[in-house]
Amino acid sequence: MNRLHQSQPAPGARVIVGMSGGVDSAVSAALLLEQGYAVQGLFMKNWDEDDGTEYCTAKADLADARAVCDQLGIELLTASFAAEYWDDVFAAFLAAYRNNLTPNPDVLCNREIKFRQFRDYALTLGADAIATGHYARLAVAEDGMPRLLKGVDTGKDQSYFLQAVTADQLRNVLFPVGGLWKREVRAIADRLGLRNRAKKDSTGICFIGERRFRDFLAQYVPPRPGPILDTEGRTRGQHHGLAYYTIGQRQGLGIGGTRDCPEAPWYVVDKVVEGDVLVVSQNVDTLLGTWLAAAEPNWISPAPALPLRCHVRIRYRQSDQAATVQARADGQLLVRFDTPQRAITPGQYVCFSLGEQVLGGATITCGGR
């Protein structure tokens, strides 16, 4: 691996910070000010629909962003990338669900909106760099290109969501809180008396909010009910539509246990398009898989030689899992795990890393035992 070194614009450079209304972006702006940068904030509006429900938080988030910028004495700009979000993120999100996959819109949102639309827009405004509140870090290799590193706080590390961003998109980018623990970020916010210092972290879909997911998805993907069968082919109930369920799910199935095992939960283990069948099992081992195939790999660093021994994650906040990555004849990647993995989910992403460096990722297409 190339030797890595830290690199960032010199103090005095103009940096536009993506202000979400949350504490991480607020502290990011404050830290850059303390380091001598010329800082502006930018609030991105990327979802036009406001249905008046408790889930629509854009107005409150904008108010928090404004209050923080006022406290810090910096200008807050606003921009709408709603059309781009719909075309480049949400349309793909819906297409995946219509194909009974389980996509991760946050990965696409980072690639298409935060590190393409926002970054390009900020640079056209004359910024030398952008900054976000991601818990991730950057370093520069001997070839002069950025490399993505995991955040120091393993419980908050967000590098998994950045796996689809290219090295070129990471130029002129700063992650001010990536080298901090969350408790340190909260402490800085307390010290500065920031309005949003106690605000809870957002856990909803990128730019859509913490809505009741099935109700939201039903507006775009109509219900298509079908049978729930166990692995022996016995009918256990009816589902609302394959799109509304994901591999490994145990909540919201609406079926009880069996006479022999009344308390054991049921898990979704497969979705069969022919007949719209949702397959369930009470045997959690049925969810274990030893391999997966993944398409459209994105290598942030130069593409490595295969086969490759590395670590992988197939979901956010999963610990690193040892695996071997090989090339398949169809152009996809084959990932073989040292230890069987639970709930390998088509449509989700597999993220590759070596030590603290994130190499990239790919979209999971299938998996097996």
Query: pLDDT by residue (tens digit) across 15-40?
Result: 999 999 999 999 999 999 999 999 99
Residue of 56, 69, 206, 366 marked active site? 206
Q: How far apart are CA 166 and CA 171, in angstroms?
A: 9
- Work out the average pLDDT over 321-333: 97
Structure tokens that stand for 54 in this block: 């408790």
**Which amino acid makes up residue 337?**
F
**Which amino acid makes up residue 342?**
R
Residue of 69, 109, 310, 351 marked active site? 109
**Predicted confidence band at 198 (pLDDT cuts at 50, 70, 90)?**
confident
Alpha helices (H) along 167-285: 182-192, 213-218
**Predicted confidence band at 261 (pLDDT cuts at 50, 70, 90)?**
low
Query: pLDDT by residue (tens digit) across 125-163?
Result: 999 999 999 999 999 888 888 999 999 999 999 999 999
Sign of CA dihedral 167, 128, 20, 112: negative
| Main-chain dihedrals φ then ψ at residue 302, nearest 5 degrees | -55, 140
- Work out the average pLDDT over 45-66: 74
Query: pLDDT by residue (tens digit) across 1-15?
Result: 456 655 678 888 999
**Which amino acid makes up residue 17?**
V
**What percent of the chain is predicted at pLDDT more than 90?**
79
Q: Which domains, ranges and CATH numbers included, belong to the chain?
A: 14-213 (3.40.50.620), 224-282 (2.30.30.280), 286-368 (2.40.30.10)
With beta carbons less than 8 A apart as the criterion, state whether 109 and 162 touch: no
| DSSP H or E segment with residue 216 | helix 213-218
**Which residues, in sequence order, are CB contacts of 318 under 8 Å at separation 6+?**
none
351 is catalytic: no
Sign of CA dihedral 149, 150, 153, 158: positive
109 is catalytic: yes
